Amino acid sequence: MAKPEHNQSLSRFILLLMTTAIAATAANLYYSQPILPLIASEFNLSNSQLGSIPALTQIGYAFALLFISPLGDSITRRRLISLLSCLLVFACGTAMLAPNYSLLLISVFLIGVSANITQQLIPFAASLVSADQKGATLGTLMMGLTIGILLSRTLSGFVGEQFGWRNVFLMSALLAALFGVLLRIFLPSNKPSTNLRYLALIKSTLALFTKHKSLQHFTLSGAFWFASFNVLWATLAIYVSDEPFNYNAQQAGLFGVIALAGVIGAKSSGKWVNKLGSKTLIMIALALAAIGFAITGLFNGSLASLIVGIILIDFAIFSAQVANQVRVFSIDPSAQSRINGIYMLGYYIGGAVGSMVGVKAFALYQWPGVVVVSIIFILLSAVFNSLAKK
């Protein structure tokens, strides 16, 4: 079994570069959402056709988690990240120039695939530090991920409104090219931890999930709390667009700024995980998330309670994610990319389920239904976390 590569130095500059690259790359998964009306207007698309654009981006990302992420264990990570950066530039450029809906769909799928850069950088950084540094390192990286996710919609909406939706993809292509070059120049080299061929590598990835009971518990716990998180964000804009709020899309988007509390959670949890342990810290985070949902339900229709609830929920969810990834990366240092790919695949499946269930709950029972479903997901997450040994 290969040992972690923390004999190589992870300088502050490299960590900052990785963090900003993660923010810029993760944003690609959400850039299309605010500009969907602009795309619909140009291509004369129906609502169902329009929904396929963000869906295919997420499908591409899920595809890469299973079929691209494992390559980080068998190919030099700097080389793989360079290849994915080239693909991201190509995909964004194609989306920008897309003459029709079909080519745009292919482009956004490839954008989702190439956004796997994020899930190469996170295990790469984890492999370059010692066990006691993992919490702080992952906390910093998750801060970048949080910023990328939460501010992507605000940035895309502004650029799309001022300069047109195609320039959103131009902006993304330029950022991808910039970070592709910087990562190629400055990332340290690493020795692959396995020489398995591709098909054997994919089979071994699936076998890891079967082999490690702890990975199953960590993945299911994360999937359920991310489901609750997506229940909130899939229904929030619908909720505040009606009485008593009557907010427009731009006003609803400002809740993303409030959600930057997740940045504090991601950063601070990296320090606390070594003191409290992942299992305890996650239980505390889940309790905070449940309280946050309960506050929004008990004071239904109150802007103040909604703001307080969102702050608690985002702080809790991103804190739990850092703590969970610390223990995920401790399972098998020689298979970090494969294990991370499986974990994140389960995480995003949970998110997709949460989005679908949340919209259905809101349609049937309005906001109280959203709150109840979210707390149920939190409780299920707590059950699987309690089954974990650490």
Do 183 and 233 fall into the same domain? no
Do 189 and 214 fall into the same domain? no
Stated pTM of the model: 0.80
The pLDDT confidence band at residue 7, using thresholds 50, 70 and 90, is very low
**203 assigned to some structural domain:** no
Do 229 and 160 fall into the same domain? no
pLDDT surpasses 70 at 9: no
Q: What was the pLDDT predicted at 259?
A: 74
Do 82 and 228 fall into the same domain? no
Given 130, 161, 195, the domain boundary residue is 195
**202 assigned to some structural domain:** no
The pLDDT confidence band at residue 138, using thresholds 50, 70 and 90, is confident
Q: What is the CA radius of gyration of the chain?
A: 20
Which range, 44-53, 212-221, 257-266, is most confident?
A: 212-221
Domains: count for the chain: 2
**226 assigned to some structural domain:** yes
Four-residue CA torsion sign, 337, 285, 22, 116:
positive
Mean pLDDT of the chain: 88
Our measurement of the distance from residue 93's CA atom to the centroid of its chain's CA atoms, rounded to an integer in Å, reads 23
Average pLDDT over residues 112-136: 90
- CA 69/CA 91 separation, integer angstroms: 19
pLDDT tens for 168-208 read 999 999 999 999 999 999 999 888 878 888 999 999 888 99
Q: What was the pLDDT predicted at 257?
A: 77
Average pLDDT over residues 229-246: 84
Do 213 and 182 fall into the same domain? no
Length of the chain: 390
**114 assigned to some structural domain:** yes
**CATH code, domain carrying 69:** 1.20.1250.20
Do 257 and 322 fall into the same domain? yes
pLDDT surpasses 70 at 282: yes
Do 224 and 133 fall into the same domain? no
The pLDDT confidence band at residue 4, using thresholds 50, 70 and 90, is very low
**163 assigned to some structural domain:** yes
**204 assigned to some structural domain:** no
pLDDT tens for 331-362 read 988 888 889 889 988 988 888 888 888 888 88
Q: What was the pLDDT predicted at 1?
A: 41
pLDDT surpasses 60 at 117: yes
Which residue, chain included where needed, has tokens 């709150």? 371
Q: What was the pLDDT predicted at 83?
A: 97
The three-state DSSP-derived secondary structure of the chain is CCCCCCCCCCCHHHHHHHHHHHHHHHHHHCCCCCCHHHHHHHHCCCHHHHHHHHHHHHHHHHHHHHHCHHHHHCCCHHHHHHHHHHHHHHHHHHHHHCCCHHHHHHHHHHHHHHCCHHHHHHHHHHHCCCHHHHHHHHHHHHHHHHHHHHHHHHHHHHHHHHHCCHHHHHHHHHHHHHHHHHHHHHCCCCCCCCCCCHHHHHHHHHHHHHHCHHHHHHHHHHHHHHHHHHHHHHHHHHHHCCCCCCCCHHHHHCHHHHCCHHHHHHHHHHHHHHHHCHHHHHHHHHHHHHHHHHHHHHCCCCHHHHHHHHHHHHHHHHHHHHHHHHHHCCCCHHHHHHHHHHHHHHHHHHHHHHHHHHHHHHHHHHHHHHHHHHHHHHHHHHHHHHHCCC
More confident position, 256 or 278: 278
Q: What was the pLDDT predicted at 268?
A: 75
**54 assigned to some structural domain:** yes
Do 351 and 218 fall into the same domain? yes
Do 80 and 214 fall into the same domain? no
Average pLDDT over residues 95-113: 96
Q: What was the pLDDT predicted at 249?
A: 60
Given 142, 173, 195, the domain boundary residue is 195
Do 25 and 125 fall into the same domain? yes
- Is 69 in contact with 120 (CB distance < 8 Å)? yes
Beta carbons within 8 Å of 9's beta carbon, 6+ residues apart: 128, 188
pLDDT surpasses 80 at 2: no
Given 149, 168, 195, the domain boundary residue is 195
Do 138 and 248 fall into the same domain? no
| Domain coverage including residue 232 | 209-390
